[in-house]
Amino acid sequence: MAISTIFSGFSFVKNVSKLRKAAIDYFKSEGIKCEVKDGELLFWFKDNVYTLQLCEGDDYAECGIVYECNADEYAALSTEEKTFIADKVNTDLYNHATVYAYNDSIKIDSSFYFTSKKMWTELFIKHFNELNEAVAMAMDIICDKIAGDNKEDAEKTKQIGFCVPEQSENTNGNDVAAMAK
C-alpha cells in the first residue's frame, strides 16, 4: 500500500508541477509565449491572453482554458446586447466553449478531464480550437454592437406580436368575414 501511495506522487495527473511543465513545454514547442503568474499559466495567441488552469484529481486531472476581456467599450453596451452576445455564441456554436456575459467583462471558457499527457495534448488542441472559434465570433459581434451596425437592422425587423394594430370596433358588421344571424 505504501509503495502505491509513493508511486502515485510520480504519476502525471497527480502532479501539478509535471502538468504545468508539460503545458509550458508544449507551448514553447509551438512558439507560443507563456508564463506562470499567481499560480496560473498565461499564454498569448493571436494577441489574446488566455489562462490555463490545471487541477489534479484522484484518477484524472482537469484542464481549464479561459479567455477574459475587460474593455470600456464592452462595459458600455446594454445588458440586452451583452446577453445577446453570450446567447448567440452559445447557441450558434455547437462546441465545449461557454460564453459568460458580465457587466464589465466577457468570459469564455472550456474545460476537460484527462488521464495522460497524450490525452491532454489531443483534448487541449480540440478544446482550444473551439474556444478560439467562440472568441472570434464573440469579438465580431461585440465589434458590430460597438460600431452600431445592427441598430438599423433592428429598426427594420419587428418582433411578432409587439406591433399589432388595434382593431376598430365594427358596429355595422360589414367588415366581418363570418357573422352569426
User: Predicted confidence band at 52 (pLDDT cuts at 50, 70, 90)?
Assistant: very high
Average confidence (pLDDT) over 48-67: 89
In this prediction, residues 131-146 reach a mean pLDDT of 92
pLDDT at 43: 94
pLDDT in the model for residue 35: 93
Residue predicted with more confidence, 181 or 102: 102
| Spatial contact of 135 and 67, defined as CB atoms under 8 Å apart | yes
CATH number, span 2-149: 3.30.1460.10
Please tell me the number of Cα atoms within 13 Å of 63 on its side-chain side. Answer: 28
**Selected residue with higher pLDDT from 176 and 97:** 97
Q: What is the per-residue pLDDT across 39-51, written as a single tens digit (0 to 9) for each?
A: 889 999 988 899 9
Question: How many angstroms separate the CA atoms of 120 and 117, rounded?
Answer: 5
Q: Which residue has the higher pLDDT, 142 or 10?
A: 142
The proportion of the chain whose per-residue pLDDT surpasses 90, expressed as a percent, equals 48
- Name the pLDDT band for 148 (thresholds 50, 70, 90): confident
Confidence of residue 174 (pLDDT cuts 50, 70, 90): low
Residue 67 has pLDDT above 50, yes or no: yes
What would the mean pLDDT of 132-144 be, rounded to a whole number? 92
User: 18-36: per-residue pLDDT in tens?
Assistant: 888 989 999 999 999 999 9
Q: Say how far apart CA 92 and CA 22 lie, in whole Å.
A: 33
